[in-house]
Amino acid sequence: MSTTIEQHRAVLLELLTEFDRICKKYDIQYQVFCGTALGAVRHKGFIPWDDDLDVCMLRPHYERFLQVAPGEVGEQFYVQGEFSEHWGMHFSKLRKNGTTYLEKFHPKDKKMHQGIYIDIFPCDNGSDTGWVRKLQFYASRVALAHTIFKRGYDTDNWLKKFFMGCCALLPLKPFHSFAMGKKYPHSRTVHTFLSCTSRYHKGIYKREWLTETVEMDFENMKVPVSAHYDELLTVLYGDYMQLPSEEDRKIKEHAVLIHTDRDYSEFEDYRDGMKFDVYSRNIH
């Protein structure tokens, strides 16, 4: 039996509820982000043609979550923290055990957890000096290319493949450290270069946009959204209240196979033989 989008979303809400519970218990601040924030503002829930959940946290709260969450989650959940065993990426996920979410890449680490997840993105300090902040962005591109190449990222773009292969030969730590900007803890700007942003101008925000929140309805729960959501969503999406064309209202096809009640380990042969003609895309 195939999984419906309603079943998938129900699991995403389970994950968000658990994430929110832990954050409240330990006074960890977060916001729903990107398409999830847009969904809260524009639809009071999921964007009707979307099927994922994103949250964002300033680096100190993000690190605190990764410190406490593994000992807090129940047996049905798994914290896939950045640079942890079998997950070499620089953002994190909360996954549900006993589920399957096979994305459009062939993981080089066959032990990588591939259950249904929500993304947990860190937000870092951006230098208030423009040219330094631009260098942070370029450093993040190298760090991202390094890690996704080693994860097993698939693309039909040969230029991307060449760039990732070159970056994989470079040391990760200095690029990642410089991009994080820990020497700028009181900067006026923050960024998401290391997580969910591929364009420079869409990844830079005023610090208060990520520290000041309001509660909004999201499906069957209340979630924290930036108190400056109008400015934030305008940076991310432009005229965000304008619906896209009917043609663009499509699920973004990140996954090849989704199951809410079968474990990803059951599909190893299927995963290794996956082929795809259409690669993932972003939506709004």
Angle among Cα 213, 216, 221 to the nearest 5 degrees reads 120
User: Which is higher by pLDDT, 171 or 13?
Assistant: 13
Strands 189-191 and 204-206: antiparallel
Reported as a pLDDT band with limits 50, 70 and 90, residue 282 is very low
pLDDT at 122 over 70: yes
The confidence score (pLDDT) of residue 64 equals: 98
The confidence score (pLDDT) of residue 271 equals: 72
The confidence score (pLDDT) of residue 283 equals: 35
Q: Tell me how far the alpha carbon of residue 244 is from its chain's centroid.
A: 22
Mean per-residue pLDDT for 226-251? 91
pTM over 0.75: yes
Three-state SS string over the chain comes to: CCCCHHHHHHHHHHHHHHHHHHHHHCCCCCEECHHHHHHHHHHCCCCCCCCCCEEEEEHHHHHHHHHHHHHCCCCCEEEECCCECCECCCCEEEEECCCEEEECCCCCCCCCCCCCEEEEEEEEEECCCHHHHHHHHHHHHHHHHHHHHHHCCCCCCHHHHHHHHHHCCCCHHHHHHHHHCCCCCCCCEEECCCCCCCCHHHCEEEHHHHHCEEEEEECCEEEEEECCHHHHHHHHHCCCCCCCCHHHCCCCCCEEEEECCCCHHHHHHHHHCCCCCCCCCCCC
Mean per-residue pLDDT for 27-40? 97
User: Which is higher by pLDDT, 29 or 85?
Assistant: 29
What is the rounded CA–CA span in Å between residue 206 and residue 257?
38
Angle among Cα 171, 175, 178 to the nearest 5 degrees reads 145
pLDDT at 208 over 50: yes
Q: What is the pLDDT of residues 58-108, one digit of tens each?
A: 999 999 999 999 999 989 999 999 988 888 888 999 999 999 998 876 677
Q: Tell me how far the alpha carbon of residue 59 is from its chain's centroid.
A: 14
Question: Structural domain boundaries of the chain?
Answer: 5-272
The confidence score (pLDDT) of residue 246 equals: 83
